[in-house]
Structure formats: C-alpha cells, structure tokens
Amino acid sequence: MQHSIFKHPQIQRAKQKLKLTASRFTDNHISLAVTGLSGSGKTAFITSLVNQLLEANEQAHLPFFSVLAEGRLIGVKRDIQPNLIFNRFAYEQAMSDLSQNPARWPASTTGVSQVRLKIKYKNAQGLSQYLLDDSTLTLDITDYPGEWLLDLPLLEMSYPDWLEHCDDELADTKRQSLAGDFLEAVTNLQLLNKADEISLQKVASLYSRYLLTCQTEGYQLLQPGRFILPGELTNAPVLHFFPIPKSVIENQNLDLNKPPHDSNLAILISRFEQYKNAVVKPFYKEHFKQFDRQVILVDCLTALNRGHRSVQDLQKALDWLMKSFQYGTSNLINRLFEPKIDKLVFAASKADHITPDQQVNLVKLLDNMLHQARKKTQYQGVLSESTAISAIRASKSGLGKVKNEEVPILRGIDNEGHTLTLYPGEVPTTCPEPDFWKHQNFEFPKFMPTNLAGSHSLPHIRMDQVLEFLLADKLK
C-alpha cells in the first residue's frame, strides 16, 4: 500500500511548525468577569455556566450555542486554575447542594476563587481549519464577593473626597436614622486628641454595623466593602477608620490637609490611604485589569420588592462600579499588554421568578436603569447585549384559571418547602414614582431550587444565548 505524501516525516515536521505558529497568533484565551452586587446570583451563575459547558452534549438544552448545534464541540474539562493562591471555585460542592433532597442554593461568595475550563472544538473557518485538526479555548473565571466591587472607585478619591461622598449618602433621611449610634459616637470623639486605637476601633465597629443594617434594608451602594465582608481582614487595624460628617469637621475646626501628628484624625486619614494601597489596589491589579469579557448580573426584582429607595440605590451602585472596568475594542496588542472588555452582557437575574410574558418588561427595566452607563460603553466600541436569565431555573411556568380566565402562572417551592402556584404580577418597564409604593407593593416570590432527579445538566433560562454571545466568535 502506498503511503500518502502527507505522512512523510518532513511534511509532518513542517505541519507541526505551522501549527505552533498558528497557535501563537490564535486568540485562544478569555478572561471573564462575572460582576454583580450581593444577592444578584453570581455563584449560581458561575455554577451554571461551568455545568452547561462540562455537560454539553446532543441532549443538553443549549439550542442557541452554535458550536454545539453544529456538532463541533469535542469536549470541555476543568483545568488547574491560573492563580494557586486563591481558592478553587467550589463547583462540586455547589452541585452537591443542588442534588440534595430537598435541594438548596450554593453558599454565597465569601472570598476570591477561580475556575479554568479548556474547551476543545473543531475549527469551522479560517486558516486554522487547514492547519489544525482542532483547537482549544481557555476560559478563566474569577469569583469574588460583590461587596468588594464598590471599593474600586476609592482609588481615585482622597479622604476629603470620600467624606463628601459619605455626606451625600447620609443626606438620605432613612440612612440618617440607621446611622444614629455611629453619628453619636463620632460626634463625641475628639479627633484632634492623641490617637486612641481602642476608641477608633469602637467607632469603626459602629460604622460597620450601620453598613450591615443598610444592606438588610435594601441599600446597595455601601462601602468600604470589607466592612461588610472583611474576609481575612477581620479585626485588622486597616479596617478601623470611618467617615467624619461635615458638622463634626466644622464643630471641631478640623484641617483635613494638616492633621496633628499622631492624632485620631491623622490615623483615620492614614488608614484610609492604607486601605486603598494595601487592600483595594492589589485586588484591582490582580483581577480587574485582566478581563476582556464581562457579565453584569442585576437583581431588579428584589429591589422592586423593597421599594423606590432600593431601586434608586441599585442604579447608583451600578453606575459607581462600572467606572472601575476598562472598556474598549480589543486587538492582539492590547490583549497581551492592556486587556480591555470588548463584549458585555447585562443580565437581569432570576427571570424564573416572573412569568415568561413579563421577561421583556424586565429587560426594558434593566436597560432603563443602565441607560447612562450603557451609552458610555457603546461609545467606547463595546458590543453589549441585554437579557433576562435564570442561571438555575427554580420554577415552572404554565396557565391557570382565575375567575374562569386563563392567566400565566408559576409553580415552585418556597423557603418552607411548600408548593406555590401564583401569578407574581407585572414588571414595570421603568422605575415607578415614589408615590406608587404608598398604595401598592411588588411581591415577586423567592423559590428554592428543584431536585435534579438524576439529571446532570442544570435547568436554566437563556444561558445558551449568553454562552453564544460571549464565546462563539472565539470558537470558529
């Protein structure tokens, strides 16, 4: 039998060299930022994204994921994460929680963790389909607490700048009432006296308690984030600082630019700067300057349940955190030396908490909340998409009869294990005026996850469309 000329050793060596050259110029790596404030569903989203890829096959419910629909997906595996200092994303534990009977939601994020996936696929177009039998895309995902996100803009603020921001926040009458104990303590603290670390720690503790109470009341724009979720910095002196209200500055005649040496005031300013330089800046450099794709998860429904103040604060928090990312068109050079986010998904989470007919309204509400931020990213050339998703679907939709009329309904399990069958109501396309909440409230339900019943793939809404938008152009 004659041997093909393409089997000749010299031809094989030439082919290997061409493969190596092609791989060097192939854009085969994505660093994905999954961004969301506390309670937006980041852990559930990452768990589902990993699950959909690992379990992707002909039976998977991913009709819009083209590499799978075209039969070009060879397989996906988890690989060793890029940064061994950080925790391994607890995918297995999350799947174990969801597989229990009754199932339970995975634990929320409390620190930084990472996951790396290798996606092997058959090439469909371009030079690579002739040079390479297949290609591999590396997908890195970093998970981190939503509470820490809002610290990033502090890098561009001085202590006086931050005090001005905090004064603006405390102008809200509800926040003032929640901050009563802290305001009394900081008013009684003599800031020009020699530094008293115990007193500073006590006032900082009251400020931290105030922020936690604000979070319980539905506020989102809360920082420093480590005061809410300190992680490894619990009880560290770098967290023992707090803002000084304008009234205290005037009453004690404080000069923020020339604080007396070793005074309480000098220590507060020093610790604010230390917090930025030793905590926030390394976190920013390690993560946020490396991303080239992003998903921003927004829990609009919980904000609507809590009222007008919560919706407005959520919008402010989203505008605030988006200032921290680098957006713009991407090319080979800046991907190597200065990555920029070139694709962005705005995702309203928990779409399974409303009936399908209301999901269009949910997307319109999300777009309305992100109007200003989205205009800026569009100007910078970023491709963006708005959608309503459920990373792990916890309800079933259908039709029911109310007064002999068919209406859309949801069926799911509440926190007490009872089956709920209800019509959750309509979603507004814009934030209602404050007077609206004086007469009626929103009551979108909370569901527990359903048991997987032996299935390996998590039920979802539109995760395949998110995967297609984020990955398809790299899987050609």
Q: In 271-423, where do the E strands start and end?
A: 293-298, 343-348, 383-388, 395-402, 405-413, 419-422
Locate 282 and state its tokens: 């390394």
Alpha-carbon distance of 269 to 158, in angstroms, equals 9
pLDDT attached to residue 20: 35
The yes or no reply on domain 5-148+286-395+452-474 and CATH 3.40.50.300 is: yes
Q: Exposed/middle/buried for 291, CB within 10 Å: 0-12, 13-18, 19+?
A: buried
Locate 18 and state its tokens: 């061409």
Alpha-carbon distance of 450 to 420, in angstroms, equals 13
Alpha-carbon distance of 367 to 363, in angstroms, equals 6
Indicate the pTM of the whole model. 0.86
The series of mean pLDDT values per 10 residues for the chain, 476 residues long, is: 52 49 59 88 96 86 93 94 86 94 88 92 68 84 84 91 95 94 97 96 97 92 92 92 96 95 96 96 76 90 93 88 64 48 92 96 94 75 90 94 85 92 93 90 93 87 97 93
Q: List, in sequence order, the alpha helices (H) in 332-441.
A: 332-337, 359-369, 371-379, 436-439
Considering only CA atoms, which of 234, 251, 111 is closest in space to residue 190?
Answer: 251
Own/partner pairs for 20-27, CB < 8 Å, 24+ apart? 22/127, 22/128, 22/131, 22/132, 23/132, 23/135, 25/332, 26/128, 26/135, 27/332, 27/335, 27/474
Match 């809404």 to its residue by tokens.
Answer: 461
Asked if the bond preceding 224 is cis, omega within 30° of 0, the reply is yes
Spans of all domains in the chain: 5-148+286-395+452-474, 152-278
